[in-house]
Structure 1
Amino acid sequence: MPEWTNGDPANAPRRGALARGGSLAPARLLAAYRAGIFPWCLSGQSLEWWCPDPRFVMTPADFRLTDSLRKTLRKKGWQVTCDQAFEIVMRSCAAVQREGQTSTWITEPMIAAYTELNRLGIAHSIEVRWEGELVGGLYGIAIGRLFHGESMFHTRTDASKVAFAHLVQRLSSSGYVLIDCQLSTPHLASLGAFHISRDDFLAIVHRERDLVPPGNAWTNPSSAGS
């Protein structure tokens, strides 16, 4: 299988890697996301580049803010911040034991690469603390009016939902139009994510990747209501 350069993601396998190998240099990662491709390292395998069909996505308007989650968000112990502990959030995501995986795909090279993207203002994290202790969070890539979610974690019940709710609030108020959830999970489906075809997803990527959101979702390190 060839190394990915600028191949057409529309011709990728529906459920499998488009290519393997290559570097995680910032320019390469940025080019991949701008093409609708994301990197992934399956357990014990080399770096792979994916563009699955269908694609799992969510619009900020489709986020399901249930009565139960509203009640959770009103609890006084939460402190929610942005871009204050990016590498720690990544390492916490890497430490999560996931069903069907014997090791994490968030490798040391991945952590180094995305931490550099955070320094460049491209990758972002949401941190959730309960009474001062980090108990949840997520991270991803912001390009144009799209946010490509990568991973999330929690060590306290509902902490990842709190992180996602605050992410949606930031994205919605700043003019983002889509959250790329990549692959289907029951957790994200419960929050309102759904499938669209790869062709539709790539059309959105091409339309939105060069548009500047009217607001800056990442300026204020503390989320409103936290």
Structure 2
Amino acid sequence: MAKVGKKYQESAKLVDRNALYTSTEALDLAVKTSKAKFDETIELAVRLGVDPRHADQQVRGAVVLPHGTGKTVKVLVFAKGDKAKEAEAAGAEYVGAEELAQKIQSQNWFDFDVVVATPDMMGVVGRLGRILGPKGLMPNPKSGTVTFDVAKAINEIKAGKVEYRVDKTAIIHVPVGKASFGVEKLGENFRALMEAIIKAKPAAVKGQYIKSISVSSTMGPGAKINPVKALD
């Protein structure tokens, strides 16, 4: 553990905790401070001026990152008949109906990253709410994962579509790619995400919407981005 601590301390010296960086500077620091032996994910944390307890202040959606996430995503699709065939043809790893729901319930099986469902399957999927919900895996029309156009949904997910949603503490945590992407590609992903989050501002929100932004690698310290100049 001391080894990790030492690397973290070295990385922390590069980041001024009180400074507000431009997005390019912050992403550059996130890449420089990723010192683990694996290709670290660069994470974005955006604190919003919303009260997530109110339904009219929820912020949720999905965006296809221009350069993807760098992660291979396994897709499970709840569908029947022609839609099941369409899902298989589009490259979904798992396709099925009640039998998959049963497997998740009885075997605590989670060998997938995203769940897509056709609207007519939501009766079956709805029963899994207590299991899938806390893991952020419940299909949702807002994020495009409840749809009859399963091929489009799968293609977008495979191309690097990420879902963002504000948590109970009014923060959105979402990946913007891998350290190996380099600053330019991470910057384009960052911009696509921030534009989507800004566009998703609820009408009920008054005052400052973007309170703070920071980026960090999986194991590294966070660098703060000036929220006023986030898209400069």
> What TM-score do the two structures reach when normalised by structure 2?
0.23
The structure with the largest helix share of the pair is 2
Per chain length, whose mean CA-contact separation is higher, i.e. which structure has more relative contact order (CA < 8 Å, sep 6+)? 2
Larger Rg over CA atoms: 2
